[in-house]
């Protein structure tokens, strides 16, 4: 005999079982993605870690400024010396990756092959794990099919493989942290607990300590979530205050350290004006001339040591502003070239330049194709659902702006590469799965409808009923498609 208790619990149990199956299926899928991505990246690590650890005068291949600061930390000299000689305390690079690399140095040895293999493997793992926020960011907004395609595209994406498996830098760490923040921000408005909002602020602060370039997107992500909260009549202002307090606590601690040690206000790093001057010194042979940096020019390094970091950067600030004031048209023209390079990889066709950068031509072709599919993707998404697309569009407009002013290359866009892959996926495959699925559901409802009573006796009446059900199915399919487009 079926009791009322059993009747009430049966639908819930079936729903739980269905949800459990979906969760296990997604877990298996994501595990497969992560493992495949990790194996591909480890193959690159195996062919590059000995090159990274090869003995050299300054071990510049081992992370350059990041590696030199990590060396100082590992030797117990504190966060200092961003160049090979000992130059004193610094705020030239953000702190997160140097501390991670210093921990590797302490455990596996300074500039050893083991350390190179371990740090590149960690980068590869972080890059592989980025499949997860990519998949989740697209699943609710565009469906399972596109989410899977985006995840698998990241698995084989050349930039993701190269910059994690062959370069010692913060690329993979920042990409993973920012992709996670981006994914969480799209669901933040659903969270009632203020602790979740506080945690989001903490996580975003950690991402900024990896690379402060991601801070430009924080207001957009937070305001988007708060607008959705306000729209349903909940307390939005307090949630925003809690999030801002959290990120301020994380960044404030490092900012206080910089003020006390460097005697200058620099919330995360102080190297902007050095980069600005390097890109606006009058030399346009490359986007970022090597001679403008103390790491590769002994004359600049001597000036850095003699003046100290704060005074040296203040001097570069003056030079950069003076150059822009005297040559505003040149600055505007070079900034436009930097914008083109950021999205296409193209800088110059001069024979001398191409001889020094032989991979620029194939790289420009690949980057241009990626950008075209990205633009197609954001256009499709904007047409289907402006609410979902607005965050991506704001990212494309805001994030690259500092690099238009300083210098640009493919490595500078790595923090937003996961979001670019999402847009490329939409550009390649579109949203046809939404429309097809809606049509299929309407078609199934039409042909699986139960027979009408008295169909033989009232043929004309049954025909009108069938027409009514067909219209109802089509309407339902249309409404379902609309809800999917809004991410419900």
Rounded CA gap, 67 and 272, in Å? 19
pLDDT value at position 432?
A: 60
Answer whether 50's CB lies under 8 Å from 113's CB.
yes
pLDDT value at position 285?
A: 92
pLDDT value at position 24?
A: 81
pLDDT value at position 19?
A: 65
pLDDT value at position 266?
A: 82
In the chain, where the domains are located? 20-320, 431-450+471-488
Rounded CA gap, 181 and 198, in Å? 13
Q: What digits encode the pLDDT tens for the residues 271-317?
A: 999 999 999 999 999 999 999 999 999 999 999 999 999 999 999 99
| Residues in the chain with pLDDT values less than 70 | 1-19, 432-488
pLDDT value at position 431?
A: 72
pLDDT value at position 457?
A: 38
pLDDT value at position 410?
A: 87
Q: What does pTM read for this prediction? A: 0.85
Q: What digits encode the pLDDT tens for the residues 40-79?
A: 999 999 999 999 999 998 999 999 999 999 999 999 999 9
pLDDT value at position 444?
A: 42
Q: Given the structure tokens 């003076």, which residue do they identify? A: 322
Rounded CA gap, 367 and 344, in Å? 5
pLDDT value at position 13?
A: 65
The encoded tokens of residue 72 equal 């100082």
The encoded tokens of residue 321 equal 């502003």
pLDDT value at position 453?
A: 40
Rounded CA gap, 162 and 124, in Å? 9
Q: Measure CA of the first residue to CA of the last residue in the chain; give whole Å.
A: 39
Nearest alpha-carbon partner for 340 in 366, 312, 362, 368: 368
3-state secondary structure the chain: CCCHHHHHHHHHHHHHHHHHHHHHHHHHHHHHHHHHHHHHHHHHHHHHHHHHHCCCCCCCCCCHHHHHHHHHHHCCCCCECCCCCCCCECCCCCCHHHHHHHHHHHHHCCCCHHHHHHHHHHHHHHHHHCHHHHHHHHHHHHCHHHHHHHHHHHHHCHHHHHHHHCCCCCHHHHHHHHHHHHHHHCCHHHCCCHHHHHHHHHHHHHHHHHCHHHHHHHHHHHHHHHHHHHHCCCCCHHHHHHHHHHHHHHHHHHHHHHHHHHCCCCCCCCCHHHHHHHHCCCCCCCCCCHHHCCCCCHHHHHHHHHHCHHHHHHHHHHHHHHHHHHCHHHHHHHHHHHHHHHHHCCCCCCHHHHHHCCCHHHHHHHHHHHHHHHHHHHHHHHHHCHHHHHHHHHHHHHCCHHHHHCCCCHHHHHHHHHHHHHHHHHHHHCCHHHHHHHHHHHHHHHHCCCCCCCCCCCHHHHHHHHHHHHHHHHHHHHHHHHHHHCCC
């Amino acid at each position: 005999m079926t009791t009322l208790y059993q009747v009430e619990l049966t639908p819930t149990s079936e729903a739980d079982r269905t949800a459990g199956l979906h969760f296990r299926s997604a877990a298996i899928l994501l595990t497969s993605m992560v493992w495949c991505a990790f194996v591909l990246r480890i193959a690159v690590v195996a062919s590059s870690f000995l090159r990274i650890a090869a003995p050299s005068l300054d071990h510049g291949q081992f992370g350059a400024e990041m590696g030199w600061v990590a060396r100082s930390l590992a030797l117990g000299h504190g966060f200092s010396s961003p160049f090979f000689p000992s130059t004193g305390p610094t705020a030239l690079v953000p702190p997160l990756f140097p501390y991670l690399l210093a921990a590797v140095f302490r455990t596996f040895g300074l500039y050893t092959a083991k350390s190179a293999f371990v740090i590149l493997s960690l980068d590869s793992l972080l890059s592989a794990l980025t499949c997860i926020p990519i998949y989740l960011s697209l699943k609710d907004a565009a469906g399972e099919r596109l989410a899977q395609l985006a995840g698998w595209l990241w698995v084989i994406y050349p930039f993701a493989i190269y910059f994690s498996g062959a370069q010692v830098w913060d690329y993979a760490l920042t990409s993973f942290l920012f992709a996670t923040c981006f994914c969480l921000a799209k669901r933040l408005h659903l969270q009632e607990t203020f602790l979740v909002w506080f945690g989001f602020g903490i996580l975003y602060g950690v991402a900024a300590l990896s690379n402060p370039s991601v801070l430009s997107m924080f207001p957009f992500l937070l305001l988007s979530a708060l607008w959705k909260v306000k729209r349903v009549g909940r307390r939005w202002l307090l949630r925003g205050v809690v999030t801002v307090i959290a990120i301020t606590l994380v960044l404030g601690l490092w900012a206080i350290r910089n003020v006390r040690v460097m005697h200058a206000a620099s919330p995360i790093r102080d190297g902007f004006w050095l980069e600005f001057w390097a890109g606006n010194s009058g030399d346009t042979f490359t986007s970022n001339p090597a001679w403008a940096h103390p790491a590769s020019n002994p004359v600049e390094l001597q000036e850095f040591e003699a003046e100290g970091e704060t005074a040296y950067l203040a001097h570069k600030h003056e030079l950069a502003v003076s150059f822009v004031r005297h040559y505003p048209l040149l600055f505007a023209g070079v900034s436009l070239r930097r914008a083109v390079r950021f999205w296409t990889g193209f800088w110059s066709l001069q024979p001398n330049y191409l001889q020094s950068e032989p991979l620029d031509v194939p790289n420009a072709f690949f980057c241009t194709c990626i950008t075209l599919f990205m633009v197609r993707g954001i256009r499709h998404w904007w047409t289907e659902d402006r609410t979902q697309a607005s965050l991506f569009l704001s990212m494309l407009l805001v994030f690259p702006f500092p690099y238009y002013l300083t210098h640009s290359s493919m490595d500078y866009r790595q923090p937003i590469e996961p979001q670019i892959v999402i847009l490329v996926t939409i550009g390649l495959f579109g949203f046809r799965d939404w429309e097809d699925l809606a049509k299929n559901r309407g078609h199934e409802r039409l042909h699986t409808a139960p027979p009408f009573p008295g169909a033989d006796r009232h043929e004309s009446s049954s025909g009108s009923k069938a027409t009514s059900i067909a219209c109802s199915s089509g309407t339902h399919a249309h409404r379902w498609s609309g809800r999917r487009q809004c991410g419900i």
